[in-house]
Amino acid sequence: MITDEAKTVEELREQCSVYAQLLEKVQGLLLEAQAQISTLEKECDRYGLHVSRQDEEITRLRRDCPSAGSTASSGEAKHSPEITELAAENDRLRQRLSDLNEYLEITRADGKRFYL
């Protein structure tokens, strides 16, 4: 009976050791995830700043380009290729920013499991 108790204690110690190793691994993964979330937050801020700057540039270009507000004979607005290109890039960045913000909301939610 003493042998069985000693064996049980040894098995429990081994299990504790395994769990401790798993806990360390999970803590490492959580630290990595936090670093990735921090990086994504910075990227969102950078995208937001870039989008704001492009909005200002689009506004400036429209103001400086006399044909930007006029309409063509077909009823479509005339825009310089530069304005159109900036607007398209701005739309892509806005979508990327929206996607990143949605991802961050999901991963920062209390009690949520997330995978990177």
Compute the average pLDDT of residues 21-46: 90
Kindly tell me if the per-residue pLDDT of 26 is higher than 90.
yes
The pLDDT of residue 66: 64
pLDDT tens readout for residues 61-86: 878 776 645 544 444 455 677 778 88
Half-sphere exposure of 74 (CA within 13 A, CB side): 3
84/116: higher pLDDT: 84
CA geometry: angle 74, 75, 79, nearest 5 deg: 100
Distances (CA, A) of 5 to 9, 12, 51: 6, 10, 67
